[in-house]
Amino acid sequence: MKIKFLGHSCFLIETQGKKLIVDPFISPNELAKDVDANEIRVDYVLLTHGHGDHVADAELIAKNSDATIISNFEIVSWYEEKGIKGHPMNHGGKRSFDFGELKYVNAIHSSVLPDGTYGGNPGGFILKSGGITLYIAGDTALHMDMKLIPMTSGKLNAAILPVGDNFTMGTDDALIAAEFIECDKIIGCHFDTFGYIVIEDKEAAVADFKSKNKELILPQIGYEISI
Ligand code: NI
Ligand code: MN
């Protein structure tokens, strides 16, 4: 599984010959000006919740690619009205796709679509594909239900957690989350994009994780990892 960071909470995932993009927020992101959302072609668009900083380029990319949007029922219904095909899920449900298995799991946050339409409850995904299990938390606070993830989905190879604080967990709570989910490789996201979520001391955050024998990756845009 190849994972590429495209800024904020957006990741391009290649697995089992398929391409998935998570939470595309590219064209409004000043930091991602070298990435052209118009050129991106994928098979699936995964949306954790309806906020603009997660769905801004979802319509563009889905239409350009004739891709399927996978998200909660309310978000998928909203995009279906725009002529985009979708696969609706809800919390606790899992489903097999041609790239692997996806489970929609709990997140503590809020969710509204850009035009004010109710965006359902926010979530995260557990992606199992090609022998790899990846947790994509979405925007969330630290919460006790994270302990259910290793119980129900087995050993995680890596997890993408928000770490920018203010709107989501900060790095301190993300370290506790890493313990709850029993995962040693954490890819941080949702940091530095706007003023409220700048991480001032990245080295200290990375060192805190290291002291608990965990790795915190704070990726630059374009960063790629194979797991
Ligand atoms: Ni959000
Ligand atoms: Mn967000």
The enclosing domain of 64 has a CATH number of 3.60.15.10
**In angstroms, what is the span from residue 221 Cα to ligand 2's centroid?**
17
Structural domain boundaries enclosing 220: 2-226
Other CB atoms within 10 A of residue 109 CB: 21
Collapse the DSSP code of 209 into the 3-class scheme (helix H, G, I; strand E, B; otherwise coil) and give the result. Answer: helix
| 8-state DSSP, 112 | B
Which residues make Cβ contacts (< 8 Å) with residue 68, sequence separation at least 6?
43, 44, 45, 62, 85, 86, 87
What type of residue is 201?
D
Helix (H) / strand (E) element for 177: namely helix 171-180
Question: Facing residues of 94 across strands?
Answer: 103
CA distance 72 to 91: 8
| Contact by Cβ (8 Å): 127, 227 | no
**In angstroms, what is the span from residue 9 Cα to ligand 2's centroid?**
7
**In angstroms, what is the span from residue 159 Cα to ligand 2's centroid?**
17
**In angstroms, what is the span from residue 112 Cα to ligand 1's centroid?**
9
Distances (CA, A) of 177 to 24, 143, 161, 214: 24, 8, 8, 11
**In angstroms, what is the span from residue 220 Cα to ligand 1's centroid?**
20
**In angstroms, what is the span from residue 102 Cα to ligand 1's centroid?**
21
**In angstroms, what is the span from residue 123 Cα to ligand 2's centroid?**
12
| Contact by Cβ (8 Å): 27, 37 | yes
- Structural domains of the chain, count: 1
**Within 9-165, where are the H helices?**
52-55, 58-65, 73-80, 148-153
**In angstroms, what is the span from residue 217 Cα to ligand 2's centroid?**
19
pLDDT in tens, the chain (227 residues): 999 999 999 999 999 999 999 999 999 999 999 999 999 999 999 999 999 999 999 999 999 999 999 999 999 999 999 999 999 999 999 999 999 999 999 999 999 999 999 999 999 999 999 999 999 999 999 999 999 999 999 999 999 999 999 999 999 999 999 999 999 999 999 999 999 999 999 999 999 999 999 999 999 999 999 99
Structure tokens at 88: 């609706």
Structure tokens at 126: 């557990």
